Every structure is written in C-alpha cells, then in structure tokens.
C-alpha cells in the first residue's frame, strides 16, 4: 500500500479543520472543525499502523480508538457548553463569549 494518499488526505483534512477553527464564528462549526482535525489524526494513526512495523502490533488502531473516545467526550461537553451559551446569550457566536473573569464584587451582586 502506498501511504502517500492517506497522509495527504489527512493533511488536507487537518488543514481544513485548522482553517475552520480560525475563521468560523459559530461555536457549532468550530466543534465540527475540531472533529475534522481529530479524524485526520485517526487517519494518520491507522495508516502508520499498517505501513510501519512497530514493536507493539495494532498500536495505531488502539490509539485511534482512544481518540474516538476523546472526540465523543469533547462533543458531549462542547455541545453542553454551546447550549448553555445559547440559553444565556441567545447566540452561539464565539465573538460574544466573555473571556475575562468577573471580579468578586460583580459576582456577589
């Protein structure tokens, strides 16, 4: 098997994911872009597992399963945050999210 095609595909997917994270304002689209990047990493792990003879057999596939579990947890937590943001602000644009912490006087009121 020629590993060039999966590696180039993974690089394109990862680049598209980075572009989506940097350019999108909608939080749901940012989460989708992060999923694209995680899928690109999975593709690299499985391709490397099939092409490189490692000391541990099928280690790339095991790491890919861990990445899938991480992606599922990230989506669960991320969508919960996005839903709470929508309830509070009625918008899911990333630009509207306040990043600075409130002072202790403002939080007590």
Tell me: the pLDDT tens digits for 72-107?
Answer: 898 889 888 888 888 887 777 777 777 766 655 555
At which residue do the structure tokens 């057999």 appear?
57
- What confidence tens digit (pLDDT) does each residue in 44-69 have? 988 888 888 766 777 788 888 888 89
Are 79 and 27 in contact by the 8 Å Cβ rule? The answer is: no
Burial 18-32 (b: 16+ CB within 10 A, else e): eebbeebeebeebbe
How far apart are the C-alpha atoms of 45 and 32, rounded to whole Å?
20
Per-residue tokens: 108: 């007590």
How far apart are the C-alpha atoms of 90 and 79, rounded to whole Å?
15
| pLDDT attached to residue 7 | 92
Mean pLDDT over 11-24 rounds to 93
- What confidence tens digit (pLDDT) does each residue in 28-41 have? 888 899 999 999 99
Decide: helix, strand or coil at residue 26.
Answer: strand
């Amino acid at each position: 098997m020629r590993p060039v095609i999966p590696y180039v595909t993974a690089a394109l997917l990862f680049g598209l994911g980075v572009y989506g994270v940097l350019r999108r304002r909608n939080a749901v689209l940012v989460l989708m872009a992060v999923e694209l990047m995680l899928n690109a990493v999975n593709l690299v792990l499985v391709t490397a597992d099939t092409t490189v003879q490692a000391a541990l057999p099928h280690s790339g596939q095991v790491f890919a399963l861990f990445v899938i579990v991480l992606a599922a947890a990230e989506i669960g937590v991320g969508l919960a945050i996005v839903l709470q943001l929508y309830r509070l602000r009625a918008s899911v644009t990333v630009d509207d999210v306040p990043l600075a912490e409130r002072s202790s006087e403002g939080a007590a009121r």
